[in-house]
Amino acid sequence: MNKKYNPHPLKWHFIILGFILFSTFFLSIGYASLDSITLDIAGEVTAIPQTEIYITDVQYQANDNANPESSTIHQYYQTLMQSSIVLGNTPTSSITYNITIYNSGNDAYTFKEVEYSDEFYDNPNITFLLDGLKQWDTIASKQSLTFSITFHYLNNTIPDSNILNSYLNFKFMRGTQDDTNIITTNKQIKIYNASTDIIQFDITNNNDFATTLAIKLR
């Protein structure tokens, strides 16, 4: 009588176990890669490409009874700077850094303001002062500008916390204060350096239908 060969059940157990271990190994690699990518993205301030105007250098300059060893410029990218500032135990305590910004574009850029949000500025009792850069100052094409930023106590009053963690964005606009540059493309209208916060468009179509559109600029 002919008998069919049946593999031993234990052999199948080893084959299945090996397949599970093999699959788990590659799933672990895939998960680790995804996790590392996620961590890398989470560590970046922003993912947009480098702009024409950006910070090239930040250097410690001086302090008045502050803690320069514990104060840190963590990173800078484009016109954004991340820092942790530790002041001292006197009302006039301060620390100063020199910041250099370079304009690599073909147009001048105009400084508008320092932008930050409460979420990324954790001590409102520590403020800052700029020296060498004020609103509407311009940086010409292919030129650099160096200015200083001094962190100090608000109203010379020592608060409960002497530490400030912040992200500051030194916001520049393309063009000069006297320019209002409007650039149109297929789907976009870009406005640089408008003289007011509200731009008004008077629109007329081919059927002589007219309307006015007002846009508040941020």
Per-residue pLDDT tens over the stretch 28-85: 444 433 333 333 333 433 333 447 999 999 999 999 999 999 999 999 999 999 999 9
The confidence score (pLDDT) of residue 78 equals 94
pLDDT of 193 over the 90 cut? no
Q: What percent of the chain has pLDDT over 90?
A: 56
Are both 147 and 86 inside the same structural domain?
yes
Q: Hey, what amino acid is at 216?
A: K
Domain assignment present for residue 41? The answer is: no
Are both 165 and 188 inside the same structural domain?
no
Distances (CA, A) of 183 to 103, 111, 164, 186, 202: 20, 20, 40, 10, 17
Domain assignment present for residue 129? The answer is: yes
Are both 106 and 127 inside the same structural domain?
yes
Evaluate whether 109 touches 138 at the Cβ level (below 8 Å).
yes
The confidence score (pLDDT) of residue 197 equals 59
Are both 78 and 170 inside the same structural domain?
yes
Q: Hey, what amino acid is at 193?
A: N
Domain assignment present for residue 34? The answer is: no
Bridge partners for 190 per DSSP: 183
- What count of Cα atoms within 13 Å lies in the side-chain half-sphere of residue 159? 16
Alpha-carbon span 200 to 215, nearest angstrom: 6
> Which of these ranges, 96-100, 154-158, 168-172, 180-184, has the smallest mean pLDDT?
180-184
Are both 198 and 111 inside the same structural domain?
no
Q: What is the mean pLDDT of the chain?
A: 77
Are both 153 and 168 inside the same structural domain?
yes
Are both 160 and 70 inside the same structural domain?
yes
Domain assignment present for residue 36? The answer is: no
Are both 128 and 82 inside the same structural domain?
yes
The confidence score (pLDDT) of residue 20 equals 54
Are both 160 and 203 inside the same structural domain?
no
Domain of residue 73: give its range.
Answer: 53-174
Average pLDDT over residues 88-96: 97
**CATH label of the domain that carries residue 140:** 2.60.40
Alpha-carbon span 86 to 175, nearest angstrom: 37
pTM, rounded to two decimals = 0.62
